[in-house]
Amino acid sequence: MDALKPLIYDLDRDGLKEILTGWNQPAFRVNQIWDGIYKNLKSAPSEWSNLPADLKTLLSERMSFQALKPVDRLQSEDGETVKTLFSTPDGKSVEAVLMKYEQRHTLCISSQAGCAMGCVFCATGQMGFSRNLTGGEIVEQVLYYARLLKTENEFVTNIVVMGMGEPFQNYDNTLEAIDRLNDSRGFNLGARRFTISTVGLIPAIQRFAVEKRQVNLAVSLHAANNSLRSQLLPINRKYPLEELIPVCREYIEITGRRLTFEWALIQGVNDRPQDARELVDLVRGMICHVNVIPLNPTQSFTGKATTADRARDFAAILNEAGIPCTIRLRRGIDIQAGCGQLAGKHKN
């Protein structure tokens, strides 16, 4: 992307209208271009058959239609997981993953290049933070996979902002991207098809609650006591459980929405029966769901994934206590589909 050219995916409809008005274009061109990008998934001005040649030239010369350059793409042996590593114009690495299920196609997208949270078992956390992505760069990850799926007569059904980065540290750009993809006049993906995952940034959760969006919220918990959680997630030292959990309860009360807790099961660390019982005590009475997933291994963390039996035992304790718990299958282990793993490989 030419640094002098604005990325078209960074524009909302009003921004696009303002530019086209400045080019003395009629108002209906906004709809044609917007439809082309978000409904018909066009990726370059030359693909529009309903635009005059002079407007296509202006778009080509003055706007960028690609900020993310694919530099590596891996597909799992079962064909159900596709991971792409992108490079930004300033040389940053960004990852996004497509996970195919029987009745849905879920994207795991990034909100930052790198991450400042430093979660010890996460490859992105081990990389450190580079910068926030723009709203357009977040949107572009989705459009890339939407175009890929279109060639298979398929489409995106769900989006989780759970890739590289802490979405709530890039709050405005992340929600701007979701709003653009949710726009009924364009990509039109329902708000409840989105999930934002946070490590627990309390001020952002409070802001999100007040906005009463229909977007789903997931909190990465991974431990139910401060000692262990602070070891795994350094952010817990700033926002400890005795402050975080009441805010989670407030979120549920304000929005009336179910909250999801994420728990990466690490063998002998947080997958024991006592860990499950601690979690039961912590979240009892909340409208919540717990997703547990055996750890995706990373080079810089010595912990191992729990076994299938231990995962079942952990989930059983929660379910028996009336706390819905689902064991999520690890996806794309053979292609290092965990957050930051492919970027880390290229960096090394």
Would you kindly state where each structural domain of the chain is located, as residue ranges? Answer: 8-62, 69-347
| Whether the predicted pLDDT of 44 surpasses 90 | yes
**pLDDT value at residue 323:** 98
Q: Torsion over CA of 262, 216, 92 and 126, rounded to 10 degrees?
A: -10
Which of 66-80, 115-129, 208-222 ranks highest by mean pLDDT? 208-222
Lowest-confidence pick of 62-76, 198-212, 214-228, 322-336: 322-336
- Phi then psi for residue 252, to 5 deg, are -65, -40
pLDDT digits (tens, 9 = 90+) for 61-100: 999 999 999 999 999 888 899 999 999 999 999 999 999 9
**pLDDT value at residue 274:** 98
Mean of all residue pLDDT scores within the chain = 93
**pLDDT value at residue 348:** 43
pLDDT digits (tens, 9 = 90+) for 289-331: 999 999 988 877 889 999 999 999 999 999 999 999 999 876 5
* Strand 112-114 versus strand 194-198 pairing type: unpaired
Catalytically active residues are 95, 339
- Model pTM? 0.93
pLDDT classification of 123: cutoffs 50, 70, 90: confident
What residue has token string 């357009």?
Answer: 136
**pLDDT value at residue 217:** 98
Q: Which residues contact 284 (CB under 8 A, 6 or more apart)?
A: 321, 323
State the architecture of 8-62 in CATH terms: Orthogonal Bundle (1.10)
- Give the CATH H-level superfamily of domain 69-347: Aldolase class I (3.20.20.70)
